[in-house]
């Protein structure tokens, strides 16, 4: 065989293998970038960063739960059964508002009529840089540029995931989509774990205390920038009902803010955020941060923030009943109540 023929045979072989691999990824589409599963392959949700964009774009639903890991323990079946929705859960662990913007962009693109969005807003999101991302997103899965799809179609990890999905179809695997990303049964929830999580911060801040309290408006500009990532979706979709949720972080999380001198600044931002959302007729705001019995029961937390599924179910029930909904008339009183709980709580008793 001549050298030229040898080169051509190998090139053809290489390109044939690449084409075959790309077709396997396209057909199985493990990240749902192009379509829902074909050939009765099961829907397997396990990678939020890589799969959420495709799920948001290509799945059928009329309502969405959007947020950080604080939304991972929601079950879509609760909303489908109690509200009559067709719900999908779209979340990122550690999501910033830039991540929420990326998710909501996919939700509202196309002809889909989205009736409801449950949007969890976290304290850290509103005081962080508005460009904060959970991790670097694979932009080729989030944009409409077909040319950079080579990063997906000829991706070793995507090919392996595609083979796994095909194997799932052959073996008849059935995935519990209702429990996707749920961490409630995977970790220890206890006071001991919460204190273990909080101890390094507490020791460090006591060794190097801040120079007084931060001014109330310390984070105001960051808050405005982060709201600019979210409020346009509210404005541009007046027929969509947004339910904005402020989650019940543990009392130890509030101790961090007291020790850091940022309690007043954080609550100022929370109040400002609520005020801005309440300007829109298609927004309802639900506030759970000052639920005293919940936030002081540390055995229901795995760290200073993340709580058991039971709390997520309670939140869903409140969205249904209207309990803990705040209005222009009462939101400042709820923020004041949170301040009094956090500022005067006996934290030393927790650590004894």
Q: Is the pLDDT of residue 130 over 60?
A: yes
26 against 1, higher pLDDT? 26
**For residues 46 and 324, what is the distance between their CA atoms, to the nearest angstrom?**
32
Q: What is the pLDDT of residue 14?
A: 54
What integer pLDDT is reported at residue 126 of this predicted model? 96
Q: Which DSSP helix (H) or strand (E) runs through 200?
A: helix 191-207
Whole-number CA gyration radius for the chain: 23
Give the pLDDT band (50/70/90) at residue 176.
confident
More confidently predicted of 279 and 176: 279
Which range, of 145-159, 212-226, 313-327, averages the lowest pLDDT? 145-159
Q: Which residues pair with 241 in a beta bridge?
A: 116
pTM: 0.92
Q: 202 to each of 10, 176, 196, 211, 232, how far by Cα in Å?
A: 62, 39, 10, 16, 38
Pick from 249, 251, 246, 266: nearest CA to 326? 246
HSE-up of 241 (CA within 13 Å, CB side)? 10
Distance CA 167, CA 154 (A): 19
Spatial separation of the C-alpha atoms in residues 90 and 68, rounded to whole Å: 9
**Higher pLDDT, residue 220 or 23:** 220
Amino acid 11: pLDDT: 55
The pLDDT of residue 9? 47
Domain 61-142+177-351 has CATH 3.40.50.1110: yes
The yes-or-no verdict on residue 123 having pLDDT over 80 is: yes
pLDDT averaged over every residue in the chain: 92
Mean pLDDT, residues 274-296 = 98
285 pLDDT above the threshold of 60: yes
Cβ–Cβ < 8 Å for 95, 134 = yes
Residue 16 has pLDDT above 80, yes or no: no
What's the rounded mean pLDDT across residues 168-180?
84
Domain boundaries, the chain: 61-142+177-351
Q: What is the DSSP annotation of 239-291?
A: TSEEEEEE----HHHHHHHHHHT-HHHHHHHHHHHHHHHTTSTTEEEEE-TT-
Is the pLDDT reported for residue 54 higher than 70?
yes
pLDDT at residue 278, as a whole number: 98
Q: For residue range 295-307, what is the model confidence (pLDDT) as tens digits?
A: 999 999 999 999 9
Burial 274-286 (b: 16+ CB within 10 A, else e): bebbbeeeebbbb
């Amino acid at each position: 065989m001549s050298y030229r023929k040898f080169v051509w045979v190998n090139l053809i072989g290489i390109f044939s293998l690449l084409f075959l691999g790309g077709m396997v990824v396209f057909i199985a589409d493990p990240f749902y970038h192009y379509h829902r599963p074909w050939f009765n392959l099961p829907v397997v949700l396990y990678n939020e960063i890589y799969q959420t964009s495709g799920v948001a774009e290509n799945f059928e639903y009329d309502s969405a739960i959007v947020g950080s890991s604080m939304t991972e323990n929601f079950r879509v079946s609760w909303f489908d059964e109690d509200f009559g929705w067709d719900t999908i859960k779209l979340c990122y662990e550690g999501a910033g508002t830039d991540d929420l913007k990326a998710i909501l962009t996919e939700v509202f693109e196309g002809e889909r009529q989205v009736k409801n969005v449950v949007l969890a807003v976290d304290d850290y999101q509103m005081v962080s840089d508005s460009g904060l991302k959970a991790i670097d997103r694979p932009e080729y899965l989030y944009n409409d540029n077909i040319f950079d799809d080579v990063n997906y179609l000829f991706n070793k990890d995507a090919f392996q995931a595609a083979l796994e999905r095909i194997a799932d179809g052959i073996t008849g695997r059935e995935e519990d989509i209702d429990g996707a990303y749920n961490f409630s049964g995977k970790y220890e929830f206890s006071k001991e774990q919460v204190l273990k999580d909080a101890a390094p911060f507490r020791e460090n801040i006591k060794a190097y205390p801040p120079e007084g309290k931060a001014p109330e408006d310390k984070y105001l500009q960051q808050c405005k920038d982060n709201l600019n990532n979210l409020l346009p979706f509210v404005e541009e979709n007046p027929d969509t009902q947004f339910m904005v949720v402020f989650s019940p972080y543990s009392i130890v999380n509030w101790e961090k803010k007291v020790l850091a001198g940022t309690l007043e600044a954080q609550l100022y931002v929370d109040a400002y955020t609520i005020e801005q959302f309440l300007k829109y007729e298609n927004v309802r705001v639900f506030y759970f941060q000052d639920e005293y019995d919940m936030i002081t029961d540390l055995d229901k937390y795995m760290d200073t923030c993340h709580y058991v599924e039971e709390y997520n179910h309670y939140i869903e029930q409140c969205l249904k009943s209207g309990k803990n909904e705040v209005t222009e008339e009462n939101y400042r009183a709820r923020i004041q109540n949170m301040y009094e709980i956090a500022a005067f709580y006996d934290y030393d008793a927790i650590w004894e």
